[in-house]
Amino acid sequence: MAMWKNDDEMFALMKEKLYTPVVGDILDQMGYKHQFLPASIRPLAAQVPTAPYILPGETEDKRLRLAGYACTVLENDVFEYPEEKPFGYMTEALDDLKPNEVYVATGAHNSALWGELLTATAKARGAVGAVLDGFSRDTPQVLSQNFPVFCRATWAQDSSIRTYVFDYRCTIEIGQVTIHDGDLVFGDIDGVLIIPKEIKDEVLEKALVKAAGEKKVRKAIEGGMSATQAFAEFGIL
* pLDDT, tens digit, 9 for 90 and up, residues 159-206: 988 999 999 999 999 999 999 999 999 999 999 999 999 999 999 999
pLDDT at 1 over 90: no
User: Is 140 exposed, middle or buried (CB count within 10 Å of its CB: 0-12, 13-18, 19+)?
Assistant: exposed
Query: Contact at 8 Å (CB) between 150 and 130?
Result: yes
Instruction: Name which of 170, 160, 172, 138 is nearest 88 in CA terms.
Output: 160
* Cα–Cα dist 86/73, whole Å: 16
Q: How far is CA 25 from CA 28, 36, 42, 212, in A?
A: 5, 11, 19, 14
pLDDT at 2 over 80: no
Q: How far is CA 3 from CA 149, 206, 207, in A?
A: 28, 11, 12
Q: What is the mean pLDDT of the chain?
A: 94
* Cα–Cα dist 49/90, whole Å: 29
List of E strands, the chain: 42-43, 66-77, 101-106, 112-114, 129-132, 135-136, 149-151, 153-154, 163-168, 172-174, 177-179, 184-188, 191-195
Instruction: Name which of 199, 200, 203, 234 is nearest 220 in CA terms.
Output: 234
The CATH code of domain 36-195 reads 3.50.30.40
pLDDT value at residue 86: 85
pLDDT value at residue 236: 86
Q: How do the domains of the chain map onto residue ranges?
A: 1-34+199-237, 36-195
pLDDT at 31 over 70: yes
pLDDT at 104 over 80: yes
* Cα–Cα dist 69/97, whole Å: 10
